[in-house]
Amino acid sequence: MPGYESEKLQETLLDLMRSQEREKQLREENAAILAGISAMAGANNKRQVFNSLLTVLHKYIGFEHALVLTREDETSPLKELVTTCQCFESSTWPINHTFIRSMNGESIALFDPDKVNEFRGLPDNMLQYCKSVLLTGVKVSSGDAVLIFLHSERGQFPPQSRRVLDRFRPLLERAIIDIDYRERLQSLVTARTVELTHSQQRFRDFAKTVGDWFWEIDTNFQFTYISSPNLANHVIDNECIFDIFDGHSELKKELKARLEKKVPFEDLEWQLPESEGGTWFSFSGTPYFSKQGKLQGFRGTAKDITHRKKQLFELQEARKQAESANKAKSQFLAMMSHEIRTPLNAVLGLMETLADSGLNSEQKGWIDYMEQSAQLLLTIINDILDLSRIESGNFELFNAEMRPADSINLVVNQLKEQARKKDISLTSYISPDVPEVMIGDKNRISQVMFNLIGNAIKFTNQGYVSVNVTRDANHIVIAVKDTGIGIAPEAQKNLFNPFIQADGSITRRYGGTGLGLAISQHLINKMNGRITLQSELDKGSCFTVYIPIPIQTLAAIPTQIVQTPRLEKSLKILLAEDSNTNQLVAKLMLEKRGHQVKIANNGEEAIELLKLKRNSFDIVLMDISMPVLDGLEATRQLRRSNYDIPIIALTANAMQSDQEEYKRAGMDGFLAKPIQPMELNLMLDKYQGLMMTGS
């Protein structure tokens, strides 16, 4: 049934949109990781590193306080390294089963921390902050570390919080290692400050730039101090700092320019050769002066940023994979468009032929309903498959003269059997003052009615569903009322948002995607109308649609549509199409209009026929997807051979990007499958007119 097919199509859209949401979440998390790395790279102390980490995590985890505990060996207790709460400063913690699990890399959420050994013995002033606990551990060079998040209320860390920790583990490890490293370096600087004043100043500068290798040069750029003769696997045996960078002329030039400016600099990146490990370093430095303000030289660090570079590379690869997945999604949508439109072309084409085969009035009425239903199905398919329009909300209306009663009755008649099976009454009333003919998009109006009436039947188990169409000044008012389950007031606020159901249990009980009302509201808004809702739980609902009556309609539209005189010039048409069914459909449609048709089964056959009978055809209808030689390549070959015969693309690939590609290949026009009689007539009339003008 059409209703069932519509539901399945909408469920397919839900899956696609969920995939999009997952891709969006991945991009947001990757951006957060990059931001965290960048902030930590510019941090000057462990507090700034810790705050940078917490800023990133606070977007995903709702904690009040956090602290880092470390120990130097397996026999020592855990001690506070850094915290956001004063009462935990200098605290010491025992190690039991829970902390051991976390130090082994497990992320743990505690909902009753006061029952866990590590927290049971805490004093009350600390325990009051520990009603909910989330913790995980990492390995640092000095031993083990545990990162703890706290909240003063229970039940604040759902399972999602643990997933966030696992996802951001590389960032956590880098931050805690950096904090631990900065802490140990600060201790080293503090110890050296008691030795002599020169060392005190030197290591204060080192602490500001924080790195893995320290250097000092004089005003002639000669080394006066290096912390180690080895930089990773690279031996430093040069007297001048520039000699380190032999073979890297651009880097040497950049470093010289920064030193000559006599101002601090940072993040000058350099990579060791692959033969020496390929380690990446970031050079930072600052000038130092005598008490009289005279320049004495420069001091700085070289920081190993290989891990950060690796993370950036991994993020770039993840971005490429996401882009590749998005491209695959577009290819899938294009394929689905072709596969669905191709059989639908045969359905619509044969229905048109059947309508002219001598049927009685009742049978013609059936065919008319079938044709309108197929058109409605095509409209829904277009919305689902053209993902770019759905994502941007760019639905287009195709306004023409229409009969509002037909759009309403079409849907009511389609859904009567569904209502009958549920033993509920489905009635409709159309007021006499509703315009018989107006300007509008009949398929979109039918789509909205299908959603609203279909939902009313779905959520009504006894009683009735009524559709009343009236006129209120310059609006058509369509009220869809039911005696169904109703909608709670708090649920009505989000009802028109995509993928939102009034209750999560409704999805399991009644099915559906929750997308229909969002699309309906968007379509009515495009018509400059509106949808209102009145509902009471367990008593029923009434959705009311207000559609403006265009000025053309108010000025009175003739009920008889004036037909443009058809041109009688018979065209000789070459049809290149590989599907036997579509060959039959297109041939019947063209011959019924008085044209002569010759069929080619692929692009190669079409080229051969044109070469044999170059002047025997007026126009070519060229399918795009064909074996042996497709329509695009066949068109390119014909244009390169100076064939100027009009070539019209005939294809189920109907996206805008496809049409632009056809034009670049040299095609003169485009007919989408399923072939619409009006579009076919317009195209034929155009070339009939050209032929008559040319003759």
Class level of CATH domain 210-309: alpha beta
Residue with tokens 């290149």: 576
Distance between CA atoms of 323 and 317, rounded to whole angstroms?
A: 10
Domains 18-187 and 210-309 alike in fold: yes
Q: CATH topology for 572-691?
A: Rossmann fold (3.40.50)
Ordered mean pLDDT values, 10 residues apiece, the chain (695 residues):
66 70 64 65 75 84 91 85 90 90 89 89 90 89 86 89 85 81 72 62 57 79 79 72 78 84 82 76 86 86 82 85 72 66 70 74 75 66 54 64 88 87 92 91 85 89 94 92 89 66 48 60 86 90 92 48 53 90 85 90 93 87 90 93 91 68 89 79 83 60
Q: Are 635 and 607 in contact (CB under 8 A)?
A: no
Distance between CA atoms of 508 and 641, rounded to whole angstroms?
A: 61
Q: pTM here?
A: 0.37
CA angle 499, 544, 403 (to 5 degrees): 105
Reading the block at residue 69, the tokens are 């505990």
Domain boundaries, the chain: 18-187, 210-309, 323-388, 396-548, 572-691
Distance between CA atoms of 459 and 320, rounded to whole angstroms?
A: 44
Strand 619-623 versus strand 572-576 pairing type: parallel
pLDDT of residue 498: 53
Reading the block at residue 413, the tokens are 């008649």
Q: Are 647 and 561 in contact (CB under 8 A)?
A: no
Q: Omega into 404 within 30° of 0, i.e. cis?
A: no
SS (H, E, C) 385-428: HCHHHHHHCCCCCCCEEECHHHHHHHHHHHHHHHHHHCCCEEEE
Cα-trace Rg, the chain: 37
Phi, psi dihedrals of residue 35, rounded to the nearest 5°: -65, -40
What percentage of the chain's residues is helix, strand, coil (to nearest 5)?
50, 20, 30
Distance between CA atoms of 587 and 573, rounded to whole angstroms?
A: 10
Q: Are 445 and 407 in contact (CB under 8 A)?
A: yes
Q: What is the CATH number of domain 18-187?
A: 3.30.450.40
* Burial 243-271, CB ≥16 within 10 A → b, else e: ebbeeeeebbebbeebbeeeeebbebebb
Reading the block at residue 591, the tokens are 């011959």
What is the architecture, at CATH level 2, of domain 323-388? Orthogonal Bundle (1.10)
Nearest CA among 397, 371, 372 for reference residue 383: 397
Distance between CA atoms of 527 and 542, rounded to whole angstroms?
A: 20
Other Cβ atoms less than 10 A from the Cβ of 92: the count is: 11
Q: What is the CATH number of domain 396-548?
A: 3.30.565.10
Residue with tokens 């941007």: 392
Distance between CA atoms of 374 and 384, rounded to whole angstroms?
A: 15
What DSSP assignment string belongs to 586-646? HHHHHHHTT-EEEEESSHHHHHHHHHHTTTS-SEEEEESS-SSS-HHHHHHHHHHTT--S-
Residue with tokens 């902050």: 129
Q: Are 529 and 547 in contact (CB under 8 A)?
A: yes
Write the pLDDT tens digit of every residue in 23-61: 666 666 666 666 666 666 666 777 888 888 888 888 888
Reading the block at residue 605, the tokens are 């056959």
Residues 6+ apart with CB under 8 A from 201: 288
| DSSP class of 403 | -
Distance between CA atoms of 656 and 129, rounded to whole angstroms?
A: 58
